[in-house]
Copies of this chain bind each other. A is one copy, B any other.
Amino acid sequence: MTLTKEQAAEYLLQMYQIRAFEEQAEKSYMAGKIHGTMHLSIGQEASAVGSISTLEPDDFIIGHHRGHGLTIAKGADLNLMMAEFYGKENGYCRGRGGSMHIADVKGGNLGANGVVGGGIPMAVGIGIGLKMEAKDQVLLSFFGDGAASTGAFHESMILAELFQVPVVFICENNQYAMSFAASDWTTSKKIAAHGELYGLASTSTDGNDLIAVREAVQKGVDLARSGGGPSLVVNDTYRWRGHSKSDRNRYRTKEEIEEWKKKDPIGRFHDYCLKEKLLTEKEAEEIEDRAYADIEAARVFAEASPDPSVDTLEEGVYAP
């Protein structure tokens, strides 16, 4: 499954865009332009881009609270996404959802979620609907290692297998649920083992290696599309930043963080592309520059965008 130059350029661009978006998000927050909290996915770019690179445009994803990367990988308009992050009226959710609830329904992104495990049961139902309508679309359902401890995960795996839904469940195991170390109750291997017991074809991958992620998820996507039912992929990765703005990183060491930074998914894919002659040094630099320029443009767009009018508060609670 070798990549074309176009693919290489596209995936590297998306990864840089994610990195740049998260860095900008943090800056904007520090500058007091954003209220609320946010969950940054710096360090997890390969999991998002590698997984979603296997989809057709009309396929679906449903995400979790750490969803910026997933949203970009699914092809979101960066301006509308940044505007939503800023809570502006022309953002994807008219400023109602913000960081934890960005959705791009037309683009097949059925939304981030503020409730850990909250998206997993819905993923089963989306799969049921796709199957009933005999659509050949598939869904990627993303959640974290912490979500795997919830009852929602257990019930959903049982239902997914029972109804043989066309869904690939993707556990982004970044080693911690806030301060709770995945290793304290389970490991990514164990999550895959649970998946196997539920009856799902399950594997775990080096989640910082875009190629490895892509290959693992592609298997699941092919299985789902060919009527083979659900599968589970565990991407082992790491978040460089704290869990959220309330995090004081008391539960992990600087050394551990540094160790993982050496496995930077962008650096690795960058080097791979050069090694495989998919990109030149210069092309890669241009891509990086473009990514940061795109995000800067998005920031300008977002900051110039209007806040929702308070008169519209009650709009959109009920559908006609």
Contact = CB atoms under 8 A, between A and B. Distances in A.
Contacts of A261: none
Interface in A152-184: 152-155, 158, 161-162, 184
Interface stretch (A80-88, A90-98, A190-198): A190-198
Contact of A151 (B154, B190, B194, B197): B154
Contacts of A154: 149-151, 153-155
Nearest to A191: B197
A318 interface: no
B149 A151 contact: no
Number of identical protomers: 2
Nearest to A157: B154
Contacts of A186: 158
A149 B153 CA distance: 11
A185 interface: yes
Contacts of A185: 158, 161-162
Contacts of A150: 151, 154-155
Given A193-B197, A197-B194, A197-B197, A155 B151 contact: yes
A2 to B, nearest CB: 36
A143 to B, nearest CB: 14
Nearest to A149: B158
A179 to B, nearest CB: 14
Interface in A120-158: 149-155, 158
A227 to B, nearest CB: 20
A193 B161 CA distance: 17
Contacts of A190: 197
Contacts of A155: 149-151, 154
A99 B154 CA distance: 30
Contacts of A193: 197
Contacts of A152: 151
A37 to B, nearest CB: 25
A303 to B, nearest CB: 43
Interface of A: 149-155, 158, 161-162, 184-186, 190, 193-194, 197
Given A149-B154, A154-B155, 6 more contacts: A149-B158, A151-B153, A151-B154, A151-B155, A158-B185, A197-B197
23 contacts: A149-B154, A149-B155, A149-B158, A150-B151, A150-B154, A150-B155, A151-B151, A151-B152, A151-B153, A151-B154, A151-B155, A153-B154, A154-B154, A154-B155, A158-B185, A158-B186, A161-B185, A162-B184, A190-B197, A193-B197, A194-B194, A194-B197, A197-B197
A-B interface, 5 closest residue pairs, ranked by CB to CB distance from nearest: A151-B151, A154-B154, A151-B155, A151-B154, A149-B158
